[in-house]
Structure 1
Amino acid sequence: MRPLSKRRKKAGPGLNRLWSNFFIVLACAVVPLVLVFGVEFIQRGNLQETWTWLIQNPKLFTMNALLDLFIFLLIYALLGGLLPSIAVSILLLCTMSFVSFFKVKLIGEPFFPWDIFLNKESMNVLPLVTNQSALMRIGTMVGTVLVLLLLSIWVPRLRLKLKTRVVVGLMAVFAVYSFGVNAPWASRVMDRMGASEIVWNQSENYGNNGMMLAFTMNVKNAIVPKPEGYDEPTMANLAQSLKGQSGIQLASAKADPFNGKQPNVIFIMSEAFWDPTLLPNVSFSADPVPTVHRLQQESTSGYLLSPQFGGGTSNVEYEVLTGQSMSFLPAGSVPYQQYISKPLPSLAGYFEEQGYKSMAIHSYEGWFWNRENVYKQMGFESFMSKDQFSNPQYKGDFISDDEVANNIIQQVDSTDKPMFIYTVTMQNHGPYDDQRYGSNPIQVEGNLTPEAKDTLETYTQGAQDADASLQKLIDHFTETGEPTVIVFYGDHLPMLGYDYDVYKQGGFIQSGKSEQWSLEELKKMHSVPFVTWSNVDLPQEQLPILSNSFLGAYMLNHMGMQLPETLAYNAELSQKMPGMLRNLVVDANQNLYSSVPDSLKNDVDKYRQLQYDALFGKQYLAKYIDSQYLQQTVMPNYNQEFAVQAPAEEEIDGSLNASDGDNK
């Protein structure tokens, strides 16, 4: 049997051209509609919900189809053949929808334009999406694509003429670009179609507007706009108001609790650390975090308001180390990946300026979240990543928290200078359905499904190990007597099942949809415990809530250290507004707001301008305030102590080498 393309040639060129144009026009009309329906079905995971959205929002459905049409036309112009172009369009858009679906399930955030640049980091979530249901959905998509590619062998390619391809391609690029940057004509079209961007709640944004439209509207958010009123005269006036604020003291702070000695300052950001005993409907056979519970009674402690849930560890680091806030950046953005490419004031640079050795320790790959480059820009002297651990002990897939504690002790004991160490652990990274420990000594009881019980017990074992590693550090520095301050906290709450499953079953929240949470529930789902310890007598305080971005300023005050002007402003603002997320503000009286109240807007605007000036602007502030902190530079000897070990990484057996942990 002859291929259809050969048999149709007998019908004459005129009829062939007529049929070709008919099928091309039909494809342009039908394919975008099918793509929108498929993408929304994948993203929402429910046929009824997809159909309801389509019926109730015909204009938004049409707007999404228009965007899909431009994507399809661009691919068609590039590839030439109709069926291959349909196949690639399905593969591209459905893959985006799958990524968005799983991101929402896991951490409550959809797929953003800047997620494309995560590169290797995306590989870390692959184990989370390889269950049977996910593989069946992905297999269906891949099968459809393969069928279309095979059919293209037997049916006409339906190619466009070269000139037509160029014109169609340019038109598609222009349209996609216009909608992405929100050009005036594109903005008018979206307004008429009923598009309404919800920047502060991206899950709702994608749910209301449809994935392709919401994704496109977010493209412009990759560029952070200049705050209203930002210019040199404004910053000069702000600098004048900040002068003399350095050294601000909290009421409870002592001027010099260390009697002239410089203590080691150790920040430990424990991966996904949280207190599972906060689940009201669950009981435990033993206290999983006894050290944390004891410190909550004996020393300064409280809760940190994290900008993240279930992932995005580097964003919490960014807030703590710089004193800047994720609230002023696009939802879902990653400063480590997107914005930090030049020296940036941070706690690391501050402590170096005070005569400390600043070191970052992370028990995972140095490239992850671009840390090896970002830490350099932040003024760290050294970065000890996974490759510098000497024959470490693993628990599950990651280096154990106990091993991290051992290396902190080794680094402090082998260094003459006082140390500032910023530590990020990895042992208790999700997912927690892998039974990584074999058996879990601490048993949980409650109205939980077997899957939820296993997940919670695995997580709880990791939390217990993190707590024990903290106790090991306390025991060591109690014995040595070397002045030391430890600040221990989690980066975010753990992702315990899809749709916050364990939290719902445990009675911590009422709904598995974050857009339905009350402000109190939102606060609970972003509040992680933090505790401090010191072998020097420091004041004891209980903080109901404190944003991560204010933690650095608070601890410097708490230790009686002088603050640079911008961190002094953080300390002052935290007295009026201790907690701030993009969609949650906590004032000094613990009142909750979904946005900044009028009484605090001027203060928050100053905070925003200070951040923009340092991260994106002209660094005007440094021209008017003579501060080494504001004129951050890269350490000339950055990571030299570990650079000589690079050849060891080429060992054939690929094992970690004994010399990797040496402090040379």
Structure 2
Amino acid sequence: MSLRVNGTILSTSLIVTIVLAYWPLISYRVTTYEKKSFPASGKAWLLNIFEFAGIYLLAAILFTLVCLVLQKTWPFKKINSYLAFNSLSELSQKLHTIKEWLYKKRAIFYVGIFFYFFTFVQIFLLEKKEGWKQTIQVALKVFAQRQSILILTTFIIMAFFLLLLLLTNRFWYVFSITLVINLLLTVSSVLKVTLREEPVFPSDLKMLNSISELLAMVSPILIGAGIIVVVFLTISSIIIQRKLQHRYALKFNWKKRVIGILTLLVLLSGVFFINHKNSPSYLLFNLFRVNKTFFNQGDAVRENGPIIQFLNNIDIEIMPEPEGYSKEKIEEIMKKYDIEAENINKTRHDWLNNQTLILNLSESFSDPSRLPNVTVSGNPIPEISQIKKDTTSGLMLSSGYGGGTANIEWQGLTGLDISSLSPTLVTPYTQLVDTQQVSPSITDLFDEKIAIHPFTASLYKRKEVFEKFGFDQFYYVDSPDQLTYTDKIARNRYISDESAYKETLKALQSNTETTQFIQLSTMQNHMPYGDFYDQNDFSFEGTAVIDSKKHELVTFMQGLNYTDKAVKEFIEELDKIQKPITFVFYGDHLPPLYSGNDMKKYGLEHHETDYFIYSNAYSRGQMQKLNKKVVSPNNFSALAFEQANIKVTPFYALLTQVANDLPAATIDPVSSVSNRYNGKQIFVTDKNKMISENELTKAQKEILADYNYIQYDLTAGEQYSASWAQQTVKK
């Protein structure tokens, strides 16, 4: 008796078995889970092995049957007819046919080869290099370890190229358009990674309406070179296209073109589902080993390249849904903090009719003497140092380094925590506020609300965002509500902090009758730091700043000194105003000047700025100094009301518990050197020690859970608590 096995079944079974054996889930189970000990029972261990083997065999049989069925379909038979051969002469004939086909389509393949090497250059430019030896090592590393990324990126570029080609049938126009788009993405990615340790995000495209302001931050030489390249490509593509139109024109009939266009549209639409688990594009990106660690965007763009990392950030989730989220759960939490607000307000004073709050975000303000490996000669901020000793003050945790101003601003205005959001939501102003039907913020509590931003307002869609937040006036450069004070210091391109404070005083003095909120963002110390000032009074030593950045830090410290003097004068004027004013001052992030330090070692220090809360002379009689050494931006409103010793609404009762009973929360500052590594939340105690959520007490975890339910409801949920969060304090 002989056993005969069909060769197709045998070969399919072997291929499926090998593929399953190398599947990451299988290898993880074998190398990790199966090493799990069963000390109490050898039988349990043996049953576990048999269970795994049974599942593996069942999966192999199932996938083999699926593959066998697919082999009966028309597409497979068509491909098989092209590839199958029964003799060497037939093989030779098929190879000759393939060679002729490749020759006819050689222009397309040349484009693919060109963009393959272009992708290599993209990733190579993003890698840090010091000296020619490391440059060679980086080049070899990219070729040896990033082949899957190079190939996947080339496929994506070519899909886009072919789609445009099928639509227009203009080869050289399409090639030039594709090249220009990739050049723009490459240059902007290299610049952004260098300055802010983050890639270009899809949300950044919303800032293109402020292109003139963005270009002002770029070297004129680079802008000039870019214009020359674009003009050259435009002229050359027009000439070549006209001369060689017939050689490069597609010969497809309209049916094939339509099928090709529809197929490519379907394939490219997968970018909107990259982060949907088990979607085809999700599985494809995993197959090509794409780095999906959103909390480490800087390293991820170096590994994935700017194109794939850009696509990674298209499919976003606002915030993971907490388990048990429902209308009933939100109503339960609202009732709880209705009672908490009543308890807090028993010992608080009523709001006066002209109660006033100022939130002052001071661009890049931070004490450089606190940084490791920096020794500053003199103190650039003596007045603020003294103020911090006399009032509520400490360190503020920033989610950014060298940038991310709008994210800090969003937290201060809304009382919400960016570290609780999804890793793919990197800019709430441009990605979140638009999607919210209602956007509760601190402005809801005040009669008059004014924003002062002595710079352009088009970045981060501030005009639209502030309108949604309910600001009555918004003062910025070229605004309908025109700035009165626009003086600058020496050659600094930004309006001085002294002018910004004069503008604020004007707004304060214009209304002494009703409650007033002012959001002030000063801009004097914004990067870049050129040769601005005629005299620089401060110097430093240390390895934290590389040679090419040393003069920039000297300029930055001189700017801090000008800010210090302006703040002193502003506070003196606040003390003369006959209404209760609470003034919150804080830096949003550090400047990108300390690249000589190991960010993973000193990550926390590089994400801490200075803050203080000051009560003017009129309100000092009822104020109470707080002992809060480390805070998050979302704590400021609750802390300001507590220092002013005035009543709160139930939502701000929740924020008060978060500020007082939870350690300050932020995005893990030492998991990477990235500016944005959302999704990995940590807490920092008043002793400046980092802890995880698991180290919180049971009572703290309960408060955190309440806060997360409300934040989810307001940002990604049904907004059952929106009206509750917007209610005002009864006077």
Q: What TM-score, normalized to structure 2? A: 0.73
C-alpha distance 164-605 of structure 1, shift in aligned 2 (>3 A)? farther
Is 1:470 equivalent to 2:567 in the alignment? yes
1:470-509 to structure 2, matched below 5 A, reads: 470-480=567-577, 482-496=579-593, 500-501=594-595, 504=596
The answer as to whether partners of 2:488 and 2:496 remain within 8 angstroms in 1 is yes
| Higher RCO structure (Cα 8 Å, ≥6 apart) | 1
Q: SS of the counterpart of 1:580?
A: strand
Q: SS of the counterpart of 2:248?
A: coil
Q: 592, 612, 630: which one pairs with 1:545?
A: 630
Q: 611, 614, 639: which one pairs with 2:711?
A: 611
Partner of 2:727: 628
Partner of 2:273: 181
* Alignment partners' CA distance in 2, 1:41 and 1:147: 28
C-alpha distance 53-591 of structure 1, shift in aligned 2 (>3 A)? farther
Is 1:321 equivalent to 2:413 in the alignment? yes
Partner of 1:345: 440
* Alignment partners' CA distance in 2, 1:240 and 1:254: 20
The one-letter amino acid paired with 1:79 is: T
C-alpha distance 477-109 of structure 1, shift in aligned 2 (>3 A)? same
* Alignment partners' CA distance in 2, 1:193 and 1:368: 35
Partner of 2:426: 333
1:366-381 to structure 2, matched below 5 A, reads: 366-381=457-472
C-alpha distance 209-491 of structure 1, shift in aligned 2 (>3 A)? same
C-alpha distance 158-547 of structure 1, shift in aligned 2 (>3 A)? same
Q: 416, 423, 443: which one pairs with 2:512?
A: 416
The answer as to whether partners of 2:172 and 2:238 remain within 8 angstroms in 1 is yes
* Alignment partners' CA distance in 2, 1:265 and 1:622: 22
1:123-138 to structure 2, matched below 5 A, reads: 123-130=212-219
Q: Name the % identity.
A: 22
C-alpha distance 525-264 of structure 1, shift in aligned 2 (>3 A)? same
1:564-583 to structure 2, matched below 5 A, reads: 564-574=649-659, 575-581=661-667, 582=678, 583=680
The one-letter amino acid paired with 1:463 is: L
Q: SS of the counterpart of 2:256?
A: helix
Q: 242, 248, 256: which one pairs with 1:164?
A: 256
Q: 295, 303, 308: which one pairs with 2:395?
A: 303
Residues 71-127 of structure 1: CA deviation (Å, up to 9, x unaligned): 222232233233332222221123112211111111111111121111234543324
C-alpha distance 230-94 of structure 1, shift in aligned 2 (>3 A)? farther
Is 1:67 equivalent to 2:156 in the alignment? yes
The answer as to whether partners of 2:351 and 2:646 remain within 8 angstroms in 1 is no
> Displacement, 1:401?
1.2
1:187-226 to structure 2, matched below 5 A, reads: 187-221=282-316, 226=321
Is 1:37 equivalent to 2:117 in the alignment? no
Is 1:527 equivalent to 2:627 in the alignment? no
The one-letter amino acid paired with 1:117 is: K
The answer as to whether partners of 1:345 and 1:629 remain within 8 angstroms in 2 is no
C-alpha distance 404-237 of structure 1, shift in aligned 2 (>3 A)? same
* Alignment partners' CA distance in 1, 2:181 and 2:376: 46
* Alignment partners' CA distance in 2, 1:423 and 1:157: 58
The answer as to whether partners of 1:114 and 1:222 remain within 8 angstroms in 2 is no
* Alignment partners' CA distance in 2, 1:322 and 1:232: 21
C-alpha distance 394-614 of structure 1, shift in aligned 2 (>3 A)? same
Residues 265-296 of structure 1: CA deviation (Å, up to 9, x unaligned): 22211111111333455555542111210012
Residues 472-519 of structure 1: CA deviation (Å, up to 9, x unaligned): 1221133445432221111211233xxx44xx2xxxxx23xx5xx13x
Is 1:77 equivalent to 2:166 in the alignment? yes
Q: How many residues align?
A: 591
> Displacement, 1:400?
1.7
Partner of 1:402: 498
Flag the structure with larger Rg.
Answer: 2
The one-letter amino acid paired with 1:615 is: T
* Alignment partners' CA distance in 1, 2:343 and 2:535: 47
Q: 267, 277, 296: which one pairs with 2:359?
A: 267
C-alpha distance 280-37 of structure 1, shift in aligned 2 (>3 A)? closer
C-alpha distance 20-472 of structure 1, shift in aligned 2 (>3 A)? same
* Alignment partners' CA distance in 2, 1:63 and 1:87: 21
The answer as to whether partners of 2:395 and 2:629 remain within 8 angstroms in 1 is yes
The one-letter amino acid paired with 1:560 is: N
* Alignment partners' CA distance in 2, 1:588 and 1:112: 32
Partner of 1:436: 532
C-alpha distance 246-293 of structure 1, shift in aligned 2 (>3 A)? same
* Alignment partners' CA distance in 2, 1:178 and 1:627: 39
Segment of structure 1 superposing worse, 98-107 or 272-281: 272-281
The one-letter amino acid paired with 2:367 is: D
Residues 586-641 of structure 1: CA deviation (Å, up to 9, x unaligned): 24465755864374666544433312322343221257x596259xxxxxxxxxxx
The answer as to whether partners of 1:94 and 1:141 remain within 8 angstroms in 2 is no
Q: Can you give the 5+ residue segments of structure 2 that lack an aligned partner in the other structure?
A: 1-96, 130-134, 668-677
* Alignment partners' CA distance in 1, 2:717 and 2:281: 29
Q: SS of the counterpart of 2:339?
A: coil
Partner of 2:327: 232
* Alignment partners' CA distance in 2, 1:467 and 1:307: 24
C-alpha distance 235-444 of structure 1, shift in aligned 2 (>3 A)? same
Q: SS of the counterpart of 1:336?
A: helix
Partner of 1:456: 553
Q: Can you give the 5+ residue segments of structure 1 that lack an aligned partner in the other structure?
A: 1-13, 505-509, 631-664
Q: SS of the counterpart of 1:428?
A: coil
* Alignment partners' CA distance in 2, 1:277 and 1:247: 43
Q: 225, 243, 254: which one pairs with 2:338?
A: 243
The answer as to whether partners of 1:440 and 1:457 remain within 8 angstroms in 2 is no
C-alpha distance 399-57 of structure 1, shift in aligned 2 (>3 A)? closer
> Displacement, 1:432?
0.5
> Displacement, 1:548?
0.5
Is 1:425 equivalent to 2:425 in the alignment? no
* Alignment partners' CA distance in 1, 2:233 and 2:402: 33
> Displacement, 1:576?
2.1
The answer as to whether partners of 2:683 and 2:691 remain within 8 angstroms in 1 is no
The one-letter amino acid paired with 1:268 is: N
The one-letter amino acid paired with 2:113 is: V
Segment of structure 1 superposing worse, 600-609 or 539-548: 600-609
C-alpha distance 588-346 of structure 1, shift in aligned 2 (>3 A)? same
Partner of 1:109: 198
> Displacement, 1:244?
1.0
1:44-63 to structure 2, matched below 5 A, reads: 44=127, 48=136, 49-63=138-152
> Displacement, 1:529?
0.1
* Alignment partners' CA distance in 1, 2:295 and 2:701: 17
Partner of 1:655: none
* Alignment partners' CA distance in 2, 1:210 and 1:592: 35
> Displacement, 1:331?
4.7
Residues 316-343 of structure 1: CA deviation (Å, up to 9, x unaligned): 1110011012221445632222332444
The one-letter amino acid paired with 2:126 is: Q
Residues 171-193 of structure 1: CA deviation (Å, up to 9, x unaligned): 22211211431362222222222
* Alignment partners' CA distance in 1, 2:161 and 2:705: 42
C-alpha distance 254-97 of structure 1, shift in aligned 2 (>3 A)? farther
Q: SS of the counterpart of 2:721?
A: helix
C-alpha distance 77-225 of structure 1, shift in aligned 2 (>3 A)? farther
